[in-house]
Structures are given as C-alpha cells and as structure tokens.
Amino acid sequence: MRAHALQTFYDKRLAWTGDAMNNALLTKLGIAKPIIQAPMAGVSTPAMAAAVSNAGALGSLGVGATNAEGARRMIRETRALTSRPFNINLFCHAPATSDPVREARWLQWLTPLFAQFGAAPPASLKEIYRSFVEDRAMLDMLLQERPAVVSFHFGLPGADALAALRQAGIVLLASATHPHEAVQLVEAGVDGIVAQGIEGGGHRGTFDPDAVDDGLGSFALTRLLVRATNIPVIAAGGIMDGAGIAAALALGAQAAQLGTAFVACPESSIDAGYRRAMVEQPVGRTTFTAAISGRKARGLRNRFTALDDDPQRPPAPDYPIAYDAGKALHAAAKTQGEFGYGAQWAGQGAPLARSLPAGQLVEVLSRELDEAIRALTWPYLPAPIPHPFPAGGQAWP
C-alpha cells in the first residue's frame, strides 16, 4: 500500500518535472530549458545571445538603444553564430518631450561634475534613440528579418505593429510590473508576460513612469499573474541560480528571465569599471535612480546614483534625453580613469553573478535547477529523476 502511494507520488512528481521542462511556452519558443537570458541594451551581444541559444535556453538582444540598421546587423551577426531561436527586444516608451528650460537647468547642475574631469557638458541634449512606437524603419526591418521572438519593454507598440509581427510568425513577449499592465498585455494577445519584480536590474518596465509604482516583488507579482491569466508567465527579478529558477517554476512561471546573472559573462559589452564593480562588489548594494537616463532603473550604487541625495538636484529631463547627459558625463569621467558615473545596471542578486562564459552559465543553471528540484523532492524520491523528454528534445543534463 505504502509502495503504491509512493509510486503514485513519484508518477505525479515526474509529470510535474516533465511539465516544468516541457510546457506550452517552451514549445512555442522552440527551446528546451526554462531559462531566458534577459535582453540588455548596451550589455547583451550577439555572441552572448547565440551562446545562450546554442545551450538550449533563449538568448536575447536588446536593440532599444539602436536604430534599425544597427539592429539588423546584430540580428545577422547572431544568426551567423546560431540557428536556434533568439529574442529581439524593443523599448515602447512614450516618445520624449523636449523641455529646453528643464534641460538647461540639468546641464547647469551637472557642469561642476564635468569640470572635475576638465570637460564641459554638451551645449544641448537630444533624444538619443527613438521609441519603437514611432519607428517604422525598425518594424519593417523586423518583418524582413523575422527573428523567432520579439519582446517589448515599457509598454506595447500599436495594434497594427503587433498584428504585422504576429502575421510574420513571430512570438511576442512583453514585460509587466503590475497586474493592471498585464491586463493590457492579455488584451493585446501577447504570447507570454515577463513579470518584472522590483528586485530586478535595469529599467523598470512600468508603462507610465509617472504613475504610482507599487513595487511588487517577483514572488508576489509572478503569483498574481499566474493566478489572474492563462497566458504563460516568465518570472524576472533577483533570479541568479538554479534554486531561483526552481522557485519561479514552483510559483507557476513557465520560465525565468535572468539579466544580472549574465552581466559579468565575458561576452557582455560592459566596460572594465562595470566589470570590476560586478565582480569585486562585496555586498553588491543596488538602488533605483532616474538621474542617469530620465527613467527609474536599478543599478549598483556609485557616484552617479549618489547624486540623488543632492537637495539641489533639479528634475531630470525626459527619458532618454537625460541619458545624453549621463553618457557624456560617464565618457568624460572615464578619460580620467573614473568609472563611477557609468550606468552600472544590476539587480539585488548582483553579488551572486558569475563571470562564466554564457553557454557554460546556462549549463550550470540547468544543473542547479535539476539539483534544486531533486533536493525538494528528496524525502520521496531518493533516486535521481529520469527526464522523460520527447524524442528530439534537448538533452537535460
């Protein structure tokens, strides 16, 4: 009788494990592992995305800060390195509104900082990249290149763009930081929702940067979205290892999206100061700031984020106009060996980041996930769980 009960439990467990590794989202994305390397504009590279995809997870490229031709080059470079699916990520923020008075005050406030490095701020600021919502050339390029997956941050493009991408056979994902944003994604018919918790690194994907941010953590947000929708949910924010991915799957997510975990990989395009800060930060203290780009983003605490404490700080220009000044200050500081004014985006799990090659990191994450599942089931399943993958599926180590 006891043996029978154990066998039933074992069978259920196997079914659960099988489902976790072979769910609707993974089938749709054409990947074997429930791991997505987060798109990271300015940090992820074709080499990183291809290595991740080649290892059976989903690699991503953030092209939000690039124009259509730059993005096309990145897609082609990635294609030369992998024949597997990968994801192209776009920013869908409301186009910036220029306010010359505000921008002039901002530059005036930054002038003494530039002066420290023997430099002057730019005479004026510009919108350094366009939102996808008004970038027809980018849409045309995507329809020509047809990447397997396209994802959106800060909201969605118009219904026509969504319909055209869907018509081209592209799987569509989008970030949400709150259930009320997820409702809009469900109505728009996306294929999966990235639940971005407050722990996460990089820009908050909130649709309206001026709205009150409830700051939902990954656990609560993932669970809220899993309970509220029947669209696959991808958990993101603070997930750094296999144990974190197992937790996300246990919460009902069909995959986990990891950004900070991949920042220190040798394939990332971060500079030496950012790399040092990632690898050497003993406590990895992070904070949100809007001073660097004009929108709230989480990064390692540094000289730039400390400027938020200045009571004289005027309101920042609109996103991404403020980024023009932020990047210029970082460039000026770097010429004098000061890296503390960089946008060193990272999430709360930063001290757990490993500087392994991206493909190897995916292998390690997979192994850890397997071990975490086994550890949780250990009292009932002393033997390793065999993995009943369908023929032709990727090997699960």
Binding site for ligand FMN (CB under 6 A): 38-41, 43, 62, 64, 89, 153, 175, 196, 199-202, 236-239, 257-261, 263, 345-347, 349
Cβ proximity to ligand FMN: between 102 and 153 the closer is 153
Name the minimum Å distance from CB 82 to ligand FMN.
Answer: 20
**Cis amide prior to 390 (ω within 30 degrees):** no
Cβ proximity to ligand FMN: between 208 and 310 the closer is 208
Helix axes 68-81, 46-54, angle to 10 degrees: 40
Cβ proximity to ligand FMN: between 231 and 297 the closer is 297
Name the minimum Å distance from CB 381 to ligand FMN.
Answer: 29
Cβ proximity to ligand FMN: between 78 and 196 the closer is 196
Number of helical H runs and strand E runs in the chain: 15, 11
Name the minimum Å distance from CB 153 to ligand FMN.
Answer: 3
Cβ proximity to ligand FMN: between 199 and 324 the closer is 199
Q: Residue 63 carries which DSSP code? A: -
Name the minimum Å distance from CB 268 to ligand FMN.
Answer: 8
For 8, counting Cβ atoms within 10 Å of its Cβ (0-12 exposed, 13-18 middle, 19+ buried), the class is exposed
Structure tokens at 127: 């919108």
Name the minimum Å distance from CB 182 to ligand FMN.
Answer: 14
What's the CA gap between 195 and 254, in Å, rounded? 11
Q: Residue 129 carries which DSSP code? A: S
Cβ proximity to ligand FMN: between 56 and 155 the closer is 155
| Secondary structure E strands in the chain | 35-37, 59-62, 86-91, 149-153, 171-176, 192-196, 202-203, 233-236, 255-258, 286-289, 297-300
Cβ proximity to ligand FMN: between 17 and 45 the closer is 45
Q: Pick from 349, 261, 371, 360: which is nearest to 52 by CA? A: 360
Cβ proximity to ligand FMN: between 64 and 157 the closer is 64
Name the minimum Å distance from CB 371 to ligand FMN.
Answer: 20
Strand partners, 59: 86
Name the minimum Å distance from CB 362 to ligand FMN.
Answer: 14
Name the minimum Å distance from CB 215 to ligand FMN.
Answer: 14
Name the minimum Å distance from CB 270 to ligand FMN.
Answer: 8
Report which residue's Cβ sits closest to ligand FMN.
259
Would you say 345 and 40 are in contact if contact means Cβ atoms under 8 Å apart?
yes
Tokens 């709230």 identify what position?
A: 296
Backbone angles phi, psi at 163, to 5 degrees: -65, -40
Structure tokens at 177: 């930081």
Would you say 54 and 84 are in contact if contact means Cβ atoms under 8 Å apart?
yes
Largest CA distance in the chain: 81
Cβ proximity to ligand FMN: between 107 and 322 the closer is 322
